[in-house]
Amino acid sequence: MSKILIVGGVAGGASAAARLRRLDEHAEIILFERGAFISFANCGLPYYIGGEITKKSALTLQTPRSFHGRFHVDVRVFSEVTAIDREAKTVTVKNHETGETYLESYDKLILSPGAEPIRPNIAGVDSDKVFTLRNIPDMLKIKDYIDGKCPKDAAVIGGGYIGMEMAENLRAAGLRVTLIERLDQVIAPLDFDMACDVRRYMKSKGVSLILRNGIESITDHGDALAITLQEGDIQADMLIMAIGVRPESDLARVAGLAVNQRGSIVVNDQMQTSDPDIFAVGDAVEVTEFVSGQKGSIPLAGPANKQGRIAADVICGLDSRYTGTQGSAILKVFDMTVATTGVNEKTAKGLGLDYEKSFTYVASHASYYPGATNMSIKTVFETGTGKILGAQIVGFDGVDKRCDVFATAIRAGMTASDLTELELCYAPPYSSAKDPVNMAGFVIENVLTGKVKLFHWHDVEHLPRDGSVTLLDTRTPTEYAKGTIDGFVNIPLDTLRGRLDELDQTRPIYAMCQVGLRGYIAARILSQNGFDAYNLSGGYRLYESVVG
């Protein structure tokens, strides 16, 4: 009978334990968790603070007792593994309830320590008004502070997933919120042009945003915090530190297991560390990015659960392998949904990939059926083949299922032509006969087959205004009057065919409309009449969102 120890009882660790028992009814399985809770829904913690989730018990998917009852796993909470002796194949365990320290032997060991919030080494960070959010005790500490102290103003440092979720839920709890981010955008996995819609929406929901700025120090004046930034300062009654996480890999590093420069535990595709009897899973491990093949750290719950299952499979003799993480993630921002999968343009450019991008702005379902909302889709694709490399979607209803289709397409190595052929479910309340995913495929296919040439929002400022090119706004006079791009003249699409003689056929024409569709039709008319025409991808709406 084999003896397997698991360090860490959330996500990867709990998944590994359950899978091990399903595969081996007779193995001795001991799961160590230094805190009080196992298998809790840490992704749901912000929503308890904001009141969307009202029962703490809803976040504990399993208790030590229920986990033992179902899987016959020896769950030891308040038990911290402090050292690994690889030669003796033992771990040192400290029981934080009794103070006892003891040794436990193993045949196989699985490490699932997770990642811990980064607390910068700055003055005042240890104030009892400064919080991080990783587990249920952290959640309760924040919730109790809000309920007991009734703060009015909160600052959130960091515009990543946790920072954004906390900003939303602190607003839901009735606080005024200021979010500070060092970058020039929120949500780093998004490209800047896609993050602009999110920024604007956050402001509309009453969140004050301070970008391109970072925290320098914190001073606790008793009744409030004075927060000194790189530029300026603000005051708040409480502060949430959400500037990122780092792998909690000290246990592995001290034991002599290989870790990379960032501290992530190095594993092979079967989740084995540099010691073949020790496995590691979850946020603490180095992963291979599925699209680029680069090594990285992508702390997400889905991959952690899959890795835990794979480690259990391998221990039980199955040939199970992890094929990489593509970073599929989704975020609720008030009523808005933000989703991403695969590589973004920043990554594609940094890796020197041969790529192009397209923007589509389409309705979530048939526009004549009530409740349709538009979503903005950015697709990154390989120029030679049309292979889909990444997608980002910002919108409301239906964003989740479209990004899931893109994620599936990327995993399957599909191209834009494949997207056009997908037969997706259609009824007016749910989609259009040509689904937004199909539309993205059509746009890319048109580019690849030479039916349209694109230019982008960042190209506009470089277009000459000396008459050597024609800049054409194909929207209606009413739209044009409400705002246009400097140098663009207005010829509405529906009058274009009758006014071709007003255009110089020797000059390239750069056409635009509101979202890209009319500009595409104009470019097709022009190109078939001998003009060299280009269409502004994403249209004036995207340009104004980014530049305006």
Phi, psi of 195 (to 5 degrees): -70, -20
Residue 279 to residue 157: CA distance in whole angstroms:
34
Task: Find out whether 450 and 534 touch, Cβ atoms under 8 Å.
Answer: no
- Give the CA count within 13 Å in the CB-facing half-sphere of 471: 18
Residue 4 to residue 335: CA distance in whole angstroms:
44
Which DSSP helix (H) or strand (E) runs through 399? helix 399-411
The pairing of strands 28-33 and 3-7 is parallel
**Cα–Cα distances in angstroms (integers) from residue 122 to residues 5, 79, 116, 129, 215, in the given order:** 37, 31, 17, 15, 9
- Exposure letters 79-93 (e unless 16+ CB within 10 A, then b): bbbeebebeebbbeb
The pairing of strands 245-247 and 115-117 is antiparallel
DSSP 27-67: -EEEEEESSS-SSB-GGGHHHHHTTSS--GGGGBS--HHHH
Task: Find out whether 280 and 265 touch, Cβ atoms under 8 Å.
Answer: yes
In eight-state DSSP terms, residue 499 is G
Residue 490 to residue 474: CA distance in whole angstroms:
6
Task: Find out whether 344 and 380 touch, Cβ atoms under 8 Å.
Answer: yes
Active site residue 43: yes
Task: Find out whether 535 and 520 touch, Cβ atoms under 8 Å.
Answer: yes
In eight-state DSSP terms, residue 72 is -
Residue 471 to residue 468: CA distance in whole angstroms:
10
Residue 526 to residue 521: CA distance in whole angstroms:
9
Q: Please classify residue 55 by burial: count the beta carbons closer than 10 Å to its beta carbon, then call 0-12 exposed, 13-18 middle and 19+ buried.
A: exposed
Residue 141 to residue 422: CA distance in whole angstroms:
48
Tally of residues, the chain: 548
Residue 132 to residue 142: CA distance in whole angstroms:
9
- What six digits make up the tokens of 337? 């949904």
CB atoms within 10 A of CB 462: 7
Single-letter amino acid code for the residue at 501: D
Catalytic site positions: 43
